[in-house]
């Protein structure tokens, strides 16, 4: 038995990272699967008549050890991976997929669930219990419990293959990201780049024993270069390297994987009686159907496209006027947008970054959480970390009771995937009368401190930190009985509300004055800069909206129709982008082969949810604006009906309890400057 299969004798029952060896994982998984199997057997062999407690509740609490090991392992595979962990992931994923199918396709278990479900009208269930019963029944019926044996076997095979393909997709992207290096030895090639970005590039080269300046595809390196570097040829080279991940017809190519995933998902949906994968997924979303999603996207497209086309024409004219550029390309986008923004608003990220020292922004997020929800964050060094960069905190309520353990991991490294995300190492639940508090983590990729400068964030990175922290609050403030309904276990198109609403505070003078102080002088951010941030908030909003809509439409093109006749990933993608395309096509690039959100993560048929949640967050934040952005009454309602309730009720019901009415898209369009 490994350390992972025993009770963790650690502060707050935290993960004992320093005591875990990679070779512990496979035997730990196998032992935990057997233990979870025994727990299922105990439910099915119970001689008592099936009831809510001995069947539905028992099932939700089963597999706790397995869930814990899975969360530790797969979080490491995202944030601190290596070849050995990736190899274990390939071995473990089919085992987990098989076990999951063993439960879903367990006829004796489903019979007991069905018995309880059919007697639902006679049971005196709370709202949360009724939701759990519905969810358990649907998770079986939606995943093949009613299928004949031959179709169940095919379902098992599909799920096993999908789990391995998704891992392979992600491994290829990480390998592509790590493989590309652009070493510059002539300082003229860095013309336009801010000093901080230059210093970071030099430091990165030194760390790899190289002379010069090293540019990579990691966001803190890639984005400043694409935004500021004057050398157009080098921007093109970097842009094409970034845009061609998984699309080079080599051993890291993802084209076949994309086609296989799309076709397997379609076959799976058809097996289960659904038209497409999107029909299957959306049955459990606020949006409900592909038709509703497509009309939602089309509606926003009609409103955003005229603004986007006008913005694009202005950008083209500006680039021509400034540098004689006849045809603006994708690698010109960030560069000329930044120059135009500076011209229109006399504002650039380099002006703002000195006011956004990472430590101050973290404190700012904590202060906002304290003012809204009465939380206190105290850094502690008594718990294990999986990497020395990780920060650890105790989160307490106003009375000093533990709310959560919080991990924060902010800097890029070789074993960490790009992007930003929130996750957890231990869920919240109430079991045996004890309210088990969650262990929540956020992971980002910000610029590391250099020898002369601390980590200074762009304003976009500030909103990213607040976004992930919003997710974290959703996890931390969870207060439900059952783990499967706790925290962020909500409909996918509702999960972005807590994250996206928190971004709004970044634009408010009242908030910025709390933490935006110059890292050298201590000067509070001047009012004129705050006004410029607000004025520039809707800069290129039409183009940004079009970009997000294009991703949602690509997702639906892969999952909302039959993929059987798709032979070219690139051709299919080009057709999906036809209504939203502004820039000339780049033959070497393909987004689908690196679209990890939908082919590796959980966003398949769900990418639209970012825009969907923007409608919710704009409407919800208007309520805060009406009453005051730190108004306790509104904050308490948001905590009571949104943050603490998880998936215990239909999200629209919860939203209406908070807001008093259904969300109106006008608030988003007003905020975006697309309507007056």
- Alpha-carbon span 28 to 384, nearest angstrom: 19
* Cβ contact 223:238 at 8 Å: no
- Going by C-beta distance under 8 Å and a sequence separation of 6 or more, which residues neighbour residue 331? 226, 232, 235, 236, 238, 239, 240
* Cβ contact 79:416 at 8 Å: yes
HEC states along 99-127? HHHHHHCCHHHHHHHHHHHHCHHHCCCCH
69: nearest Cα among 32, 97, 34, 35: 32
Angle between helices 541-559 and 569-576 in degrees, nearest 10: 130
Please report where in the chains the tokens 């709202």 appear, as a residue: 127
Q: Exposed, middle or buried: residue 530 (CB in 10 Å: 0-12, 13-18, 19+)?
A: buried
Structure tokens that stand for 584 in this block: 């000339």
Please report where in the chains the tokens 């409900």 appear, as a residue: 288
Longest CA–CA separation in the chain, Å: 82
3-state secondary structure of 442: strand
**Helix (H) / strand (E) containing 42:** helix 22-44
Structure tokens that stand for 571 in this block: 């051709």
Query: Is the Cα torsion angle 346, 349, 352, 354 positive or negative in sign?
Result: negative
Rounded to 5°, the CA angle 643-132-112 comes to 165
Rounded to 5°, the CA angle 57-59-64 comes to 105
596: nearest Cα among 462, 421, 387: 421
Rounded to 5°, the CA angle 367-372-374 comes to 75
- Alpha-carbon span 21 to 8, nearest angstrom: 15
* Cβ contact 487:422 at 8 Å: no
- Alpha-carbon span 638 to 67, nearest angstrom: 29
What DSSP assignment string belongs to 589-630? --SGGG-HHHHTSS-TTTTTHHHHHHHHHHHHHHHHHHH-TT
Q: Exposed, middle or buried: residue 8 (CB in 10 Å: 0-12, 13-18, 19+)?
A: middle
CA distances in angstroms from 306 to 310, 389, 446, 542, 582, listed in the order given = 6, 45, 34, 8, 12
What DSSP assignment string belongs to 45-80? T--SPP-IIIIIIHHHHTTHHHHHHHHHHHHHHHHS
Catalytic residues: 468
- Going by C-beta distance under 8 Å and a sequence separation of 6 or more, which residues neighbour residue 519? 354, 355, 357, 360, 453, 454, 456
DSSP type of residue 283: T
């Amino acid at each position: 038995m490994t350390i992972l299969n025993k009770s963790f004798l650690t502060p707050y029952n935290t993960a004992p990272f320093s005591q875990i060896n990679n070779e512990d994982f496979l035997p730990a998984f196998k032992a935990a699967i057997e233990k979870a199997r025994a727990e299922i057997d105990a439910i099915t062999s119970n001689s008592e008549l099936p009831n809510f407690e001995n069947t539905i509740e028992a099932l939700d609490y089963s597999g706790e050890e397995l869930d814990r090991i899975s969360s530790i392992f797969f979080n490491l595979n995202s944030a601190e991976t290596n070849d050995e962990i990736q190899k274990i992931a390939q071995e473990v994923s089919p085992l987990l997929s098989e076990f999951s199918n063993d439960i879903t396709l367990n006829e004796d278990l489903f019979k007991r669930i069905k018995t309880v479900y059919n007697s639902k009208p006679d049971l005196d269930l709370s709202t949360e219990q009724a939701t759990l019963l519905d969810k358990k029944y649907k998770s079986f019926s939606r995943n093949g419990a009613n299928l004949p044996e031959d179709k169940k076997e095919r379902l098992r095979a599909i799920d096993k293959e999908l789990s391995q393909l998704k891992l392979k997709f992600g491994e290829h992207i990480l390998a592509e990201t790590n493989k590309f290096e652009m070493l510059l030895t002539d300082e003229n090639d860095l013309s336009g780049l801010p000093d901080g970005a230059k210093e970071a590039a030099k430091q990165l080269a030194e760390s790899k024993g190289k002379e010069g300046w090293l540019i990579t595809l990691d966001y803190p390196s890639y984005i400043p270069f694409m935004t500021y570097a004057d050398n157009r040829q080098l921007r093109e080279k970097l842009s094409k390297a970034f845009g061609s991940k998984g699309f080079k017809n080599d051993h890291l190519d993802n084209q076949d994987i994309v086609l296989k995933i799309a076709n397997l998902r379609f076959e799976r949906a058809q097996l289960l009686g659904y038209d497409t994968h999107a029909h299957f997924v959306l049955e459990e979303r606020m949006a409900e159907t592909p038709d509703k999603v497509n009309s939602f996207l089309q509606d926003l497209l009609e409103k955003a496209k005229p603004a986007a086309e006008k913005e694009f024409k202005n950008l083209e004219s500006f680039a021509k006027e400034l540098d004689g550029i006849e045809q603006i390309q994708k690698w010109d986008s960030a560069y000329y947008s930044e120059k135009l923004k500076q011209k229109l608003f006399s504002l650039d990220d380099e002006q703002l970054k000195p006011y956004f020292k990472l430590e101050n922004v973290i404190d700012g997020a904590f202060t906002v959480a304290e003012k809204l929800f009465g939380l206190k964050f105290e850094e502690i060094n008594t718990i294990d970390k999986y990497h020395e960069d990780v920060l650890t905190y105790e989160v307490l309520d106003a009375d000093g009771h533990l709310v959560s353990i919080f991990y924060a991991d902010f800097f890029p490294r070789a074993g960490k995937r790009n992007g930003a995300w929130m996750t957890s190492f231990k869920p919240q639940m109430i079991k045996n009368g004890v309210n088990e508090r969650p262990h929540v983590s956020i992971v980002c990729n910000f610029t590391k401190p250099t020898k002369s400068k601390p980590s200074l964030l762009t304003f976009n990175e500030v909103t990213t930190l607040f976004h992930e922290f919003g997710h974290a609050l959703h996890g931390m403030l969870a207060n439900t009985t059952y783990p499967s309904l706790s925290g962020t276990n909500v409909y996918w198109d509702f999960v972005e509300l807590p994250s996206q609403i928190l971004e709004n505070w970044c634009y408010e003078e009242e908030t910025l004055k709390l933490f935006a102080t110059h890292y050298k002088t201590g000067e509070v951010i001047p009012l004129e800069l705050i006004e410029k941030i607000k004025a520039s908030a809707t800069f290129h909003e039409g183009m940004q909206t079009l970009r997000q809509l294009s991703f949602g439409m690509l997702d639906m093109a892969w999952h909302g129709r039959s993929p059987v006749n798709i032979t070219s990933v690139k051709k299919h993608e080009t057709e999906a982008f036809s209504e939203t395309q502004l820039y000339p096509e780049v033959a070497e690039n393909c987004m689908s082969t690196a679209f990890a959100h939908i082919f590796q993560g959980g966003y398949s048929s769900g990418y639209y949810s970012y825009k969907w949640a923007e409608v919710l967050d704009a409407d919800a934040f208007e309520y805060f604006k009406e009453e005051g952005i730190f108004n306790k009454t509104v904050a308490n309602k948001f905590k009571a009906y949104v943050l603490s309730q998880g998936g215990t009720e239909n999200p629209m019901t919860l939203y209406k309890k908070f807001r008093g009415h259904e969300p109106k898209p006008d608030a988003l369009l007003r905020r975006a400057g697309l309507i007056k």
